[in-house]
A and B are shown apart, each in its own frame.
Chain A
Amino acid sequence: MKSRHLNILGWVYCCLLIAFLLFPIIIMVPISFGDTDTLHFPPERLSLRWYETVLGDDRWLDSAKLSLWIAIWAAGLATVAGLLVGLVHMRLGRIGVPLRIVLMMPLVAPNVVIATGLFSLLLPLGLLGSPTSLILGHACLAVPLTMVIFLNAADSLDPLLWTAADSLGARWPRILREIVLPNLGISIVAAFLIAFITSWDEVTLAIFVGPIVVPTLPSRMFSFLTEMIDPAVTAIATMLIGVTALIGLLMIILNIVGRKYSAARRQGAGQ
């Protein structure tokens, strides 16, 4: 009985939390479908006016394209870097807690501090405002997240699989291609998605060291908002929410698939 009460309480808590956190986000969605010049909730008449405005404006589209490319590159780099940490952990000896904490540092360091530091570092080098700098910065922010994913994945993969493949005559490129990477497939996708999100909605670094003429989408939104409030922003926000929700959904599906997979594997191991 007690656990059932707790269960109900738990759900109530979750619902309240989600409502509290998500209400301001969700309220953007109906506003974006309004047709007034000011933010108005609830909208009096539905229209796609603001979507037309945004999608017809090259400045928004160019920013979106830039953000997309930066996020893809940053996610790719962070995934490879995290994967390498995972492989080291699996093949060359376990990575202990102290080293893990050091590797997690970018996660706890305030972005503003990192951004300020990067700014004064990149300025004399003339690298300020280059997409490459921002890609590298975003990748660094995401590495702790991808690393954690790969460390866990490596822990769940028996290192003896490598030894077994080795004894069967396979060399390391084949072992990596045929054994390790396929078994880490879910983690690779998960790491890429989480790194993608990290870069996609990052504002601080983008403002400090990112491109200026065509800024990233969050950066442009921020500067746009400092000048005026326009329902166009809510349309962009809605689309951003859409992308984020889609990725979140993918992550949940991956999680379920992954758990089923590893449960089946455990069962197969006869435990």
Chain B
Amino acid sequence: MGKQFNMKTTRQDAASTSQDNAPAGQNALEMRAVTKDYGSLRVLHPTDMTVGAHEFVTLLGPSGSGKSTILSIAAGITAPSGGQVIARGVDITDTAANARNIGMVFQRYTLFPNKSVFDNVAFPLKVRGIPASEKKDMVTHFLELVGLENQAHRFPAEISGGQAQRVALARALVFEPALLLMDEPLGALDRRLRQTLQEEIRRIQQETKVPTLYVTHDQEEAMSLSDRVLILREGHVVADKGPVELYSNPPTLWSAQFLGDANARALEKVFEKDGQTWARTTCGVESPVRKAVEGTRDDLVMLVRPEDCVVVAEGETPAECSGDILPATVRDVTFLGPFRQMHIESDGGWTLKTLVSGDMNLAPGTRVSCGFRRGRPVLAAAD
């Protein structure tokens, strides 16, 4: 990427201000009580959210959860039914999409088929009246950033899907947008390519520091890319945290299970012992727990991630565990390469999904002992 690129000269020509001109700490995007109704159907309930100056924020949710609606309101493609959209302190609720200075990458390949890769990337600069020589430098710089400087002369029909999305990313970044919006940009690619591009998107975002709002339904993608993840469910934001925090302290059972597998059990009681909070499940398992949310016994469940269940042969003691050790029987085993996923049924009648090392080969019916890793079980809202 070597070449040092100076954008100073072009800044005054660009249609809108570049992000560096904004006062420090001002949000690239802020939504205040934004709603969206289609007739009597409310697809987005009053939503407050922000994207910080250099932040990578992901909207995660199943289809129909309202995540694309938020993105589309941010882009100016859809008008909100209520509330305010603010960018760097300026109300842009009624500003047209083409005046918002926002770069956008879509799930479908939206390169202009009649233009070469170079001309596609140059398009937003042409719109902004950037002189040809600067335009060439900028386009080349951003094609280098996505590793496609050799494909500049090609047409969209002549490049692969992964390359097309890289070009789309370069095109969305080349005019130094105030905000980058990405709507499931990797949705149409195969798994392998998705992982490669995830890493690249993260690298490019960190290099350009462009504030990014990213929509996906893929939990891994959300966790690996984001500074912050917003989980959406039926038009409500149900969680808004950093990925690590969110994964280990999910506010609700639903969020926990949307982010990954989680064993859950209703509670018989919550009590204090040795200065720690303990919980006793309806199947009689007692364990010290972390309490991420407030609530009474009836609203809460105990959550244990499969990787936090330590399984050993009967008679041995699971290491690094606290609380009860469950005697259990192996029900089924699925080989996943580095891991085996194993369902075990405790004698108390709790069927747990566990994740054990790939070389641990236990036949169904084997007796085992299972403990929960110290500090891992957590209480979350039942819904």
Contacts and interface: CB of A to CB of B under 8 A. Distances in A.
Contact of A169 (B15, B115, B160, B161): B15
Nearest to A264: B157
Question: Which of A168, A170, A171: most chain B CB closer than 10 A?
Answer: A168
Contacts of A167: 75-77, 97-98, 100, 102-104, 172, 181
A171 B106 contact: no
A261 B114 CA distance: 10
A265 B155 CA distance: 9
Main secondary structure of the interface of A (DSSP, over half): helix
Contacts of A171: 98
B260 interface: no
A168 B123 contact: yes
A258 interface: no
A168 B171 contact: yes
Interface string A168-195: 1111001000110011010000000000
Interface string B168-190: 10011001000001000000110
Contacts of A163: 77, 97, 104, 106, 110
A62 interface: no
Interface in B93-121: 97-104, 106, 108-110, 112-115
Interface size class of B (residues with CB under 8 A): 35 or more
A268 B164 contact: yes
Contact of A268 (B97, B159, B188, B189): B159
A265 B157 CA distance: 4
A164 B110 contact: yes
B188 A270 contact: yes
Interface in A34-93: none
A169 B127 contact: yes
A160 to B, nearest CB: 5
17 contacts: A163-B97, A163-B106, A163-B110, A166-B98, A167-B104, A167-B181, A169-B99, A169-B127, A169-B175, A170-B98, A264-B158, A265-B157, A268-B109, A268-B155, A269-B109, A270-B188, A270-B189
Contacts of A269: 108-109, 161, 164
Question: Which of B97, B99, B101: most chain A CB closer than 10 A?
Answer: B97
Interface in B210-261: none
Contacts of B159: 268
Interface in B9-48: 15
B128 interface: yes
A161 B157 CA distance: 15
Given A166-B98, A167-B75, 5 more contacts: A163-B106, A167-B103, A168-B124, A169-B101, A270-B161
Given A163-B77, A179-B112, A265 B104 contact: no
B97 A158 contact: no
Contacts of B113: 183, 265, 268
A262 B14 CA distance: 35
A178 B113 CA distance: 11
A183 B114 CA distance: 6
A268 B101 contact: no
A168 B164 contact: no
B371 interface: no
A167 B189 CA distance: 23
A3 interface: no
B52 interface: no
Nearest to A171: B98
B61 interface: no
Interface of A: 158, 160-161, 163-171, 174, 178-179, 182-183, 185, 261, 264-265, 267-270
Interface string B148-162: 000000011111111
Nearest to B16: A169
Top-5 shortest CB links A-B:
A270-B161, A268-B157, A264-B157, A164-B110, A168-B124
B108 A165 contact: no
B48 to A, nearest CB: 24
Nearest to B14: A169
A158 B110 contact: yes
Given A170-B127, A268-B156, A165 B112 contact: yes
Contacts of A166: 77, 97-98
Contact of B114 (A160, A169, A182, A264): A182
Contacts of A185: 114
Given A164-B106, A170-B98, A269-B161, A179 B127 contact: no
Given A158-B110, A268-B157, A169 B104 contact: no
B108 A158 contact: yes
Question: Which of A163, A183, A265, A268: most chain B CB closer than 10 A?
Answer: A268
B156 A265 contact: yes
Contacts of A270: 109, 160-162, 164, 188-189
Contact of A165 (B102, B109, B123): B123
Nearest to B109: A269
A182 B15 CA distance: 26
A268 B110 CA distance: 11
Contacts of B162: 270
A60 to B, nearest CB: 43
Contacts of B124: 168-170
